[in-house]
Structure 1
């Protein structure tokens, strides 16, 4: 009977090339009861915009299906039903734009549906415009805002409240009859599994778990390419989902088994330990850094203890692969991407004041890309990955900026 929808987007205007990043549909029958629901994240193939609002990470979105993969399935959920939403003109405009982008014209129009926000002026005259306030005045439970599924459920419950108040038949009976006759074009339906938001506190498996678990090679590993990628990934002491995927792909390309990679990780940690003991003192900060790297590499504190002991005794040859050499230098070109706090222009002004150059776009001359979300799918990030330019979180960039101001020790 009714298809109540809600979407989360990268911004507010389709004319600015903003895209849907999450869509939910909740079915409601003629008595106002919820009968079914469906939801999926959507890969927008661009940056995610105000992530502080919708709370979707690029790591989640990049593994979600694209809209064209979901288009047929979504159409099947909407076909023959009255479309409803809280602020229907907004949701309808984005749905229409997404279908138009893939060359399909669908009968999605705010004039053909129900807007629970507009109807509130009749059924809830004392309520404000927001879904939260309308639900509060209607005596409905609070919900998690800016989550497509939770917002769609709340709007569906609000519609049920209206249906109870309106009686039978409701004043929009004609719209119900017209919805059945709307000419939806035939569309192929791909068998795509919807991707949902991660549960709060969920931790993805370590990327080592994706590698083949077999005995290591007997000959010496040629791991420079892998270690070089590890250098870039650990620059900000954080391994993003994109970087983890790249590390797994590199290991598999060289035929490394899990044990091979663990061997390389221990060698990498040994190199860091050698640097830490060079001056004869391992500071609290250095120990914390070693523990942090060990955790990212799937190693334990005991592995750090062993690496430090070995380095202190000098019982192994000095590692040729140094891992502490990447530094920002005065005059380096940096680029920023994503919605940042404080605003991006403040970051750019600080960079200039520190002697760095700031670019609007990523080129081969760019030294570093600072991203609000290191997994971002923005055009700048795509170019940075193509050119092998490190991508770091603003927090790590601040530390690099501190190191830029600090004097470099002379060996």
Structure 2
């Protein structure tokens, strides 16, 4: 019997981007719409002109020449929105795809019509699928789905749609609660008087340069007001991180695993968007704190020699410190909380 609380429809999404930072842009997007039981209804794909250098072309295969006549995001926002409207957004590492989409809609001064997302990595973990790792190719291989063009948004979305359907049916058979998370749109896209803006964490650290990489004067990469200013604009999200449902197991033991419920604080600049890193930690079952206290399990910082208040307090309390790269490695395999 199909669980009554399961969603009525899904939008399986994949976006390819110019990079992973907060000022990066979407270069292509694909959506497979599925019904309540995971059957494909239709699909859609578009390249997107990012108005800047396309980034890692060796990954997504799209060059400046490929994208010069592609539509801007503002020109596909309605079409994309119509395919997302009223559906649960499904993606592999969904917080990333959702964050990129949310930023693009924020730049366009629009609100994406998405209320919930489902990460297929989280679903695979909940189903205890015997995967060697949590790459899309491993999930596809588990279900016998063939990849034709890895990192092409349309083919990645197809592969994920075909792999999601049996996972959805397995979850229904086992009466597993789906790992649904709220999609909170960016409440504001702030721009300073010089066009640089100041991010929500203070200062203009979101910008990676003073101009648009790869901007062109004659083509669409150079058109419009965005062509003459940096893309390090800022935003503030009207949200509170959800409460952690697990008790704090105490300090992180260097060399060991993170455990659900651990209290983590982050200090300084991060290579991955700060909110993305916080959401990954939250979805892994950690408690992300804005302050360091005696209860803090771990401080994450790329500059342990700095004199930020968090670093100073961590030193005073003897709180373990890790850099971002090591922290992200540990997030891949967080130990479950001990049963009460």
TM-score, normalised with respect to structure 2: 0.50
User: Which structure: larger Rg?
Assistant: 1
Structure with greater helix percent: 1
TM score, norm. by length of structure 1: 0.42
Bigger strand share: 2
